[in-house]
Amino acid sequence: MSYPYRVPLPDANDLSLGRESMSRIASVLAGSDNLTTGIQDVQYLANIDIPDIENVRPLLDHSGLSRYEANKSLVEELGESFVKMIKQEFWSVEKFNEFINIASQFMFMKEIRKAVLAACVKYHDRISSEMYDWLVNDPNIVDEAPMSIRRELFARDKSLFRLYVTPIFEEYLKDQSLYFLSKEMRGTNINDVLDFRMNNKGLQDIIYMIGENNILFDEMQNLIRIWFNDNGWPRICSFRFDFFMGMQKADRIQMCKRDHSFNFICELAMVFQDPLVKEKEISTTLKWCTSMLHFGSNAFRMIISKNYNLPDLDEKEFYEGFYKHILFMMVDDRQREAKESNRARKDKSQDVIDTQEIPPTPSWISFSETETHLLRRSDLARKIFCQYIVERTDKGDPVAVHRCLPFIYASLPRNDNEFMHLEMYESMYQSIVTLIIKSHRVRVLCSERWRSVITDLINITPWRLSIQELVVKLFIEFYSDEVANQLTTLGCVERMKLVRDWAERMCITGVNMKTGDVKALRHKYLLMIFRSTQVVSGIYSIRPDVCPVLWEIAFQGNKDVNLPKDARALLEMYL
């Protein structure tokens, strides 16, 4: 039997439903003397010339329903009754094939498509490969089919699967909550992060779409590789990890084993359980981790160039130069921590209130031009150095952070095309801000040394609009009752005015309002102004006489504003 299914064409006088019938009805109407005669001819030929049919029409007119609405309701009810009947009855193979054969002529009708799909779901084992090929060419069927049928259609037409899955994947990449969470390098619970990522609706939709279909699983893995080959975004690697873990969480472990990396991971885990390996672990861990990071940093370049030999790593440059300086920094950190601990035990208030300034950086731990140049060109060096800075922020070490940030500033990416370089530094700054908000807000206001870190953050804001938003977000979080109450307890609530001074200095340093999402940045400025009026009775609020440049940016030059009222109104407008 050939497809699409077709019944023999009706006789000349048979005007039953169907696309071919429409042209014949049009021919009858065109050949009639007038429209009334033509309608009567059609009724006669179609055997619907019911006596006294004219008496029904006034009833419809008085019902308030149009003829279209009445006919539409009848067709829908007939369709629903038909679907119900299909679900209740049992059809032989011959009856199923006969129904599909006849119904195929009327697939332009939604009600018929519903009936066909209901029959396909109930008798899915009777759907031949030929019939699937016929169904996949009808876009309405693909959109309306239940997932059990749709999976089979996707498996037969992988381009169709790609058409449906690509927009979901793109929405995953655009999800700002996932994006910002992926950039946090410290200060978040890893299990909470993974749960949040794997519960993403788009990811779960894709996992449901694939089900237990091995063809679709393999194709999804293939698409991920294609997308990564096209641009190399790290977020695609995050998606691949989330997809793989999500499939395992959905009890699809056997499908995951189809991926070549699964056995490699298991073998690697077994190797590291070997007692002999554990003995050598201490001496080889640094080199092994360095090699793995180096491999990951060069993955995209290797794929693009199709040269799958890992580029050589200049071990002398790393182990005798870069790592040596990092080690010296860590030794100095430990010595300083010991002194800080002794000092804090003698004077409990010194744990928060700190009047000491940043000490000079010893020459033996400072980066030279060689290490700074390495940061500019090596993703591996940047990853390690940024992790070190974030770790010192987490530990509450403003001295180490202040010493390191100038080297970040000196090695900024030259343009937006260096996306791995760009994302690494943005992630680091975001993580610093998150950690300060989480653990160090009061210390920052009470510490001369922490204020040096704030100055470093202010100095970097002209680089990117995203960094400006992060720093404004930090300033907003200082305006809280929690911070104000702790400062009051310490007897230094007047330090709240530092926040507006920093914010004004940042605006003077240079706020670029010409590129990026300026609306989002202005919203944050307005929120900061409004929050400043709500803490400590607004004594240290942001006012035009104190912060004229900030005010100009936030209110676009309109100085005649009622602060609480207009800031709230503008916030509502922007929200």
Contacts of 442 (CB under 8 A, 6+ apart): 352, 483, 486, 487, 490
End position of a domain, from candidates 271, 304, 337: 271
**Least confident range of 70-84, 92-106, 345-359, 403-417:** 345-359
Flag whether pLDDT at 13 surpasses 60: no
Range of lowest pLDDT (63-67, 207-211, 397-401, 516-520): 516-520
Same domain, 78 and 136: yes
Q: Which residue has the higher pLDDT, 136 or 572?
A: 136
| Domain containing residue 169 | 157-271
- Return the amino acid letter for 459: N
Q: Which residues of 198-218 are buried (b: 16+ CB within 10 A; e: fewer)?
A: bebebbeebbebbbebeebbb
Contact 166, 219 (CB under 8 A): no
pTM: 0.68
State yes or no: pLDDT of 529 exceeds 70. yes
Is 243 among the domain residues?
A: yes
Prior bond to 139 cis, omega within 30? no
Last-in-domain residue among 144, 167, 185: 144
Same domain (yes/no): 261, 191: yes
Mean pLDDT of the chain: 80
Identify which of 21-35, 390-404, 542-556 has the greatest average pLDDT: 390-404
Q: Are residues 253 and 302 in the same domain?
A: no
Closest by alpha carbon to 568, among 538, 534, 544, 545?
A: 534
> How much is the pLDDT for 568?
56
More confident site: 290 or 262: 290
| 156 — pLDDT class (breaks 50, 70, 90) | confident
Q: Residues near 523 by Cβ (< 8 Å), separated by ≥ 6?
A: 571, 574, 575
Q: Same structural domain for residues 178 and 267? A: yes
pLDDT digits (tens, 9 = 90+) for 18-57: 556 667 777 777 777 777 777 777 777 766 666 676 667 6
What's the pLDDT score for residue 162?
92
Q: Using an 8 Å Cβ cutoff, are 541 and 563 in contact? A: yes
Residue 492 lies in a domain: no
> Is 132 contained in some domain?
yes
Residue 60 placed within a domain: yes
State yes or no: pLDDT of 277 exceeds 50.
no
Residue 356 has pLDDT above 70, yes or no: yes
Neighbours of 339 (CB within 10 A): 9
The reply to whether 409 falls in a domain is no
At 447 the three-state DSSP class reads strand
The reply to whether 267 falls in a domain is yes
Percent of the chain with pLDDT over 90: 25
Quick: pLDDT tens for 410-450.
Answer: 999 988 788 788 888 999 999 999 999 999 999 999 999 99
Confidence at residue 401, expressed as pLDDT on a 0 to 100 scale = 95
Amino acid at 402: H
- Does residue 155 surpass a pLDDT of 80? yes
- Comparing CA positions, the residue from 109, 47, 48 lying closest to residue 82 is 109
From residue 23, how far is each of 12, 111, 243 by CA, in Å? Answer: 12, 22, 51
Backbone angles phi, psi at 354, to 5 degrees: -135, 115
Give the model confidence (pLDDT) of 214-247 as tens digits: 999 999 989 988 888 887 777 888 888 888 888 8
If asked whether residues 80 and 113 sit together in one domain, one would say yes
Cα dihedral 466, 468, 470, 472, rounded to 10, equals -150
* Domain match, 295 and 217 both: no
- Whether residue 172 is found in the same domain as residue 264: yes
Cross-strand partners of 447: 354
Report the alpha-carbon distance of residue 571 to residue 525 in Å, rounded: 10
User: 366 with 332: CB under 8 angstroms?
Assistant: no
pLDDT at 411: 92
Domain co-membership, 191 together with 253: yes
Phi-psi region of 390 (alpha: psi -120 to 50; beta: other; left: phi over 0): alpha
* Residue 77 token pair: 């009810």
pLDDT score at 6? 35
Q: Locate 116 and state its tokens.
A: 């066909």
Tell me the pLDDT tens digit for each residue of 49-78.
666 766 676 777 777 777 778 777 877 888
Task: Please say which residue of 95, 119, 144 terminates a domain.
Answer: 144
Instruction: Give the H/E segment covering residue 7.
Output: none
Is the CB of residue 224 less than 8 Å from the CB of residue 236? yes
Q: Is 406:456 a contact under the CB 8 Å cutoff?
A: yes
Model confidence at 406, pLDDT cuts 50, 70, 90, reads very high
pLDDT score at 4: 43
Residue in the block written with tokens 């829908």:
76
Q: Counting every residue, how long is the chain? A: 575
249 within some domain: yes
Instruction: Give the DSSP letter string of 474-524.
Output: HHHHHSSHHHHHHHHHHT-GGGGHHHHHHHHHHHHHH---SSS-HHHHHHH
Give yes or no: residues 128 and 163 share one domain.
Answer: no
- Kindly state the greatest CA–CA separation across the chain: 112
Q: Which residues of 111-148 are buried (b: 16+ CB within 10 A; e: fewer)?
A: bbbbbbbbbbeebeeebeeebbebbbebeebbeebeee
Looking at the fold, whether 173 and 215 belong to one and the same domain comes out as: yes
The CA angle 505-508-513, to the nearest 5 degrees, is 120
Of the pLDDT bands very low, low, confident and very high (cuts 50, 70, 90), residue 352 is low
pLDDT digits (tens, 9 = 90+) for 494-509: 999 999 999 999 988 8
In the chain, the number of structural domains is 3
Q: What type of residue is 352?
A: V
Residues 235 and 286 in one domain: no
In a domain, 15, yes or no: no
Distance CA 469, CA 128 (A): 58
For 182-222, the pLDDT digits (tens) are 777 765 667 777 788 888 899 999 999 999 999 999 999 89
Residues 133 and 182 in one domain: no
Distance from C-alpha of 475 to C-alpha of 234, rounded to nearest angstrom: 29
